[in-house]
Amino acid sequence: MMKAAVLGSPISHSLSPLLHRTAYEKLNFAGSYEALEVNEESFPIRIQELLDLGFSNFSLTMPLKEIGSSVADFIDEDSRRINSVNTLYKESGSIQATSTDLMAFKSLLKKVEFESVAIIGGGGTARAAVGALAKRVGSIDLLIRDQKRLSALKIAGDGIAIKGLPLDSDISNYDLVIATTPSGVTDLLAEKLNSVKGLLIESLYKPYPTDLLKKWQVLGGRTLSGLDLLVEQALYQISIFTGIDYDFATMRELLLSTGLKQLI
């Protein structure tokens, strides 16, 4: 039986076990999936311990996305460029690393039209979003607290012009806004909003919905929640972990419904 786990800290809130187990049952696939508390310091040792126990697949969440590739034998080009991985899997005896966050952003944005883009935050999820926008937009405004992160985001953008702005900048006039910060960081932005015109993609699903997502909806804007993003990236992980070619649309509907019941 395949053994998988989501690793991170804190991890008790994670919906990933519910989503993966639901998918495995639907696919009649023999696999286990659990949530394990792992921090940055313990990560390298813990991975080896889990591999020795027969685990072969791992989902990574905060704060492990930036160091996930350190235990990998191979990392794909896109994930290397964004320096962020959320998926480790054993294949032919070696550990492979990739970012299904990047795949999810590409999928969610496939049919979305936009010109002006703002991304809030500068961590691994923000770099995945920037990487997914490569070749699709000429410039991105980045609302960020630590301007030192700009250089890594410029690399992730592969030629996109990236401008750093204060974290409390106005986001009302962008065609696309992607929020990637921890809980509570965007609450002040929500309070300041009086109008919106584009699409907001929120990366958080705890709390659900965030203040920013609620305010955006009240003002009539289009939104995709952290649950949408979580499920989308999980679809790709489930495909990698199980090796099964399945219908994403049907599974997406099932997992969104399952996850929403848990959140509300």
Q: Residues 217, 252: one domain?
A: no
CATH number of the CATH domain containing 182: 3.40.50.720
Q: Residues 23, 134: one domain?
A: no
Q: Residues 124, 207: one domain?
A: yes
Dihedral over alpha carbons 221, 212, 257, 102 (to 10 degrees): 90
SS3 225: coil
How much is the pLDDT for 146? 85
106-125 per-position pLDDT tens digit: 999 999 999 999 999 999 99
Q: Residues 177, 246: one domain?
A: no
Residues in contact with 170: Cβ distance below 8 Å, sequence separation at least 6, in sequence order:
192
Q: Residues 173, 189: one domain?
A: yes
Question: What range does the domain containing 78 cover?
Answer: 2-98+228-263
Q: How many domains, the chain?
A: 2
SS3 223: strand
**CA pair distance 179, 149, nearest whole angstrom:** 16
Q: Residues 52, 89: one domain?
A: yes
Inter-axis angle of helices 226-242 and 100-109, nearest 10? 120
178-190 per-position pLDDT tens digit: 999 999 999 999 9
- Exposure of 127 in the CB half-sphere (CA atoms within 13 A): 23
How much is the pLDDT for 102? 98
127-174 per-position pLDDT tens digit: 999 999 999 999 999 999 988 889 999 999 999 999 999 999 999 999
Nearest Cα neighbor of 88 from 210, 237, 258, 251 is 237
- Check pLDDT > 90 for residue 221: yes
Q: Residues 218, 256: one domain?
A: no
40-57 per-position pLDDT tens digit: 999 999 999 999 999 999
Q: Residues 249, 138: one domain?
A: no
Burial status of residue 161 (CB atoms within 10 A of its CB: 0-12, 13-18, 19 or more):
exposed
**Which residues sit opposite 59 in a β-bridge?**
6, 87
How much is the pLDDT for 31? 98
**Alpha helices, DSSP H only, in 71-195?**
77-82, 100-109, 124-133, 150-157, 187-192
Peptide bond into 182 cis (omega under 30): no
Q: Residues 180, 141: one domain?
A: yes
Q: Residues 107, 80: one domain?
A: no
Pairing of strands 94-98, 74-75: parallel
